[in-house]
Amino acid sequence: MARTTVDRPPIPREIRVLIAAAFIIAIGFGIIAPVLPQYAQSFNASATAVSAVVSAFGLTRLLFAPLSGRATSRFGETPTYMTGVLIVAASMFLVAFSQDYWQLLVFRGLGGIGSTLFTVSAMAFLARRSPPTIRGRVSGAYASAFLVGNIAGPVIGSLLAVFGHRVPFLIYGTSLVLAAGLVFVLLRDSRLADRGRPDARPEMRLAEAWDNHSYRAALTSFFANGWATFGVRNSLTPLLAATAFTGAGLWLDGPQVAGAALSLFAAGNIAAVTFSSRLSDVHGRKPLIITGLLVAAAGTAALGWVQDVWAFLALCVLAGAGTGLLNAPQQAAVTDIVGQDRKAGPVMSTAQMAADLGAISGPLLAGLVVDAAGFGWAFALTGGILAVGAASWAFAPETNLPVRPGGPRTGALPTVSPAPPPEHRPGAG
């Protein structure tokens, strides 16, 4: 029992605060997810133009990701996090009062700047504060907070649609202000301590991380996940649900099917992440990453071809479960590569950039495919991208290695040269 306590420490209080903030943010994001495509359509936008609204958010995240890495290193994780959350809040209030499509496009893109600031700073915070033996568990808990919010949020958002398309964005903006306030109050001591103690950790250069085959595989799978989960799922899945199943004669109809689809994606996610995060701490990251990508590929590729609403919703659960298997181990793998004793803002932001690049290109290219050939081929293309992500991990080494043969896994140790013993230091003795 004593060994279990040592090997599996509790999640630190600071991380629990960040998890609570993530849940608040996720509720708001889930509320706008099924409404945003329909809001864009209300300005007479085509499927490609609707996808461009989603891609604008990802584009600004991509362009400002290097800045977010530098800001995190210079100003600290907590101040950067709060600034990012408040920028997204301001953008949501502006989106709510957009008067035409172009204002909507610009204001939604503005939110991407804040999003990359709080996302990268949160990744760096988790990497530094997570005990090595529970990295997967911490990543899973953080992901679960978003997923639980994404289960309830779309249902609430689809119900709020009767009050108009603008109300959900006002609610999301308010939830972001609450999340920033929570972090400001509850992480005050941690923030002040960091301010008075300069971070002397050596920095991991991007070139050093790039030399690691597993990091390159992670960038590929981050891209695939961004394409499918943050891009196509949020832009085309609600459109498919709202158009293909309107007038189906069910208690779920049109926008309600769209909300149910996103909620079931999230439900599949959280069902898988509850055990995948812990399994990755014990058995390694790679098996779960590959399995998750393949399951998500199968569910996503079939999504655009089914004509029965119940089969459609079942595939949403399957695709969500695949990404649930993937998400926490993938994030923990990057943390394994970095370790606790290295600063790695650019390494973290590049991983996020890979996901953002997928989130940008996915909706645009898949939207063009929808306009040219229909939803079926667009989702088949997305499934193929996920399969490529799985192939990239086939020959990559495991990152969560046992400290000794048969011993506990605590992640790959960071590459830091040990200090020489006192008797060999210049001027010693």
Q: What DSSP character marks residue 274?
A: H
pLDDT of the residue at 96: 93
pLDDT tens digits, one per residue of 198-250: 566 677 777 888 889 999 999 999 999 999 988 888 788 888 887 777 655 55
Choose between 57 and 3: higher pLDDT. 57
Q: What DSSP character marks residue 133?
A: G
pLDDT of the residue at 177: 94
Helical packing angle, 375-392 and 233-244, nearest 10°: 150
Two structure tokens written together for 309? 């609403």
pTM for the predicted model, two decimal places: 0.73
Choose between 413 and 394: higher pLDDT. 394
pLDDT of 337 over the 90 cut = no
Quote the mean pLDDT of the chain: 81
Tell me how far CA of residue 55 lies from CA of 202, 297, 372, 429, in angstroms: 35, 21, 19, 62
Q: What is the CA radius of gyration of the chain?
A: 21
* Helices (H) then strands (E): counts for the chain: 17, 0
Q: Is the Cβ–Cβ distance between 84 and 133 less than 8 Å?
A: no
What is the rounded distance in angstroms from the CA atom of residue 249 to the CA atom of residue 258? 15
What is the rounded distance in angstroms from the CA atom of residue 264 to the CA atom of residue 262? 5
The structure tokens 């964005």 sit at 169
Q: Is the Cβ–Cβ distance between 161 and 425 less than 8 Å?
A: no
| Structural domains of the chain, ranges and CATH numbers in brackets | 13-190+206-416 (1.20.1250.20)
Choose between 21 and 131: higher pLDDT. 21
What values do phi and psi take at 308, rounded to 5? -95, 130
Choose between 163 and 98: higher pLDDT. 98
Two structure tokens written together for 279? 């399994």
The structure tokens 């133009």 sit at 49
